[in-house]
Amino acid sequence: MSFSPGETEPSESHGGELANRVLPFAPDNRVTFNRRELDRILRLYGRKVAAGEWRDYAVDFLKDRAVFSVFRRSAEVPIYRIEKNPRLERRQGAYSVISATGLIVRRGHELDGVLRALDKGFSVVAS
């Protein structure tokens, strides 16, 4: 097998060549959730699935925002959307929870605070 000048056999790769190349599956200038954010969202999702409230989800990484949509049934519209919009980070906060009707349930700078609107845990009632 012959290689033209400048080409190398794949077994002779020295590493570092991928740094200058754009991979076809890499998001190009898209807003994404980082690992910590996605972990927090999926923990809440797991608790709600175990409680029988939620059944399906979808994740969309768009140019201007990342959206985690939650469904009661997969054939319906999402009952909640958890959005990350970096353009609003300095104003109202990058994170928001939006209901199916489009009402903003909560918006803020910290994801944990915004998700508390959906994560109504147990409360102790003192008599």
Please write the tens of the pLDDT for every residue from 78-95. 999 999 998 988 888 889
99-109: average pLDDT: 91
pLDDT for 71: 92
Of the chain, the percentage scoring pLDDT greater than 90 comes to: 38
Q: What is d(CA 61, CA 68) in angstroms, rounded to the nearest whole number?
A: 9
Residue 19 has pLDDT above 60, yes or no: no
pLDDT for 22: 47
The position carrying tokens 């097998």 is 1
3-state SS class at 86: helix
Q: Lowest-pLDDT range, 6-10, 30-34, 72-76, 92-96?
A: 6-10
Please report, for the chain, the start and end positions of each structural domain, with discontinuous segments joined by +.
35-115
pLDDT for 121: 57
pLDDT for 75: 72
Task: Give every CB contact of residue 112 below 8 A, 6+ residues apart in sequence.
Answer: 40
pTM across the whole model: 0.70
